[in-house]
Amino acid sequence: MVRNENDTVLFYPKDGNGNYEERLRQLQEKVSSLRMSRRILMSLIDQIQKENEQEVQRLQKEKIRLQRSNQQYASLLLDKNRDILELKKRIQASN
């Protein structure tokens, strides 16, 4: 490894035979492979983000459904409590 005047790192083959074309080809293959890996990872990240957004939407809908159900149940309980109080008043009035 050597630095040139622009402070760029140059890599030389370990065998010292000056087979720079082979080393360049190997590095180009690595770069190509890294680019492919990056594209795959970005695709996976996009897919996961879409799945997360869908899950959030599903959970928000479920939350609204549960809130409505809870409100209906609370209203029903209040009605039943009113009925019970009315029946107690009638019983006390008849005694």
More confident residue, 84 or 13: 84
Tens-place pLDDT, residues 54-78: 999 999 999 999 999 999 999 999 9
Q: What pLDDT, on a 0 to 100 scale, did the predictor assign at position 95?
A: 78
Tens-place pLDDT, residues 7-56: 666 655 555 566 888 999 999 999 999 999 999 999 999 999 999 999 99
User: Which residue ranges make up each domain of the chain?
Assistant: 2-94
Q: In angstroms, how far is CA 70 from the centroid of its own chain?
A: 29
CB contact at 8 A, 1 and 12? yes
b/e burial code for range 4-32 (CB count within 10 A of at least 16 → b): eeeeeeeeeeeeeeeeeeeeeeeeeeeee
CB contact at 8 A, 3 and 9? yes
Q: Which of 1, 20, 26 is nearest to 11 (CA)?
A: 1
